[in-house]
Amino acid sequence: MDFTKYSDFAIVYASEYGLKIVAALAIFFIGKWGVRRITALTKKLMLRAQVDFTLVEFLENVIYFALLIVIILASLNALGINTTSFLAIFGAASLAIGLALKDSLSNIGAAVLIIIFRPFKVGDFIDAAGASGTVEQINLFSTIMATPDNKTIMIPNSSIIGSNITNYSSKPTRRINLVFGIDYSDDLKLAKETLMQVIKEDERVLQDPAPFVAVGEFADNSVNFVFRVWVKTEQYWDVHFDMLEKVKLAFDEKGISIPFPQISVHLQGQKSED
Instruction: Judge if pTM exceeds 0.85.
Output: no
70: enclosing H helix or E strand: helix 53-78
The sign of the torsion formed by the CA atoms of 195, 201, 203, 204 equals negative
Average pLDDT over residues 56-68: 79
Residues of the chain with CATH 2.30.30.60: 120-167
Residues of the chain with CATH 3.30.70.100: 173-254
100: enclosing H helix or E strand: helix 84-100
Position 179 confidence tier, pLDDT thresholds 50, 70, 90: very high
pLDDT attached to residue 177: 96
pLDDT attached to residue 153: 94
258 phi/psi in degrees, rounded to 5 = -110, 105
pLDDT attached to residue 45: 85
Q: Say which CATH topology domain 7-100 has.
A: Helix Hairpins (1.10.287)
Percent of the chain exceeding pLDDT 90 equals 43
Burial (0-12, 13-18, 19+ Cβ within 10 Å), 182: buried
Residues of the chain with CATH 1.10.287.1260: 7-100
Instruction: List 180's β-bridge partners, or say none.
Output: 225
Burial (0-12, 13-18, 19+ Cβ within 10 Å), 207: exposed
Would you state the CATH architecture of domain 173-254? 2-Layer Sandwich (3.30)
Would you state the CATH architecture of domain 120-167? Roll (2.30)
C-alpha 175: how far from chain center: 23
The Cα 117–Cα 110 span in angstroms is 10
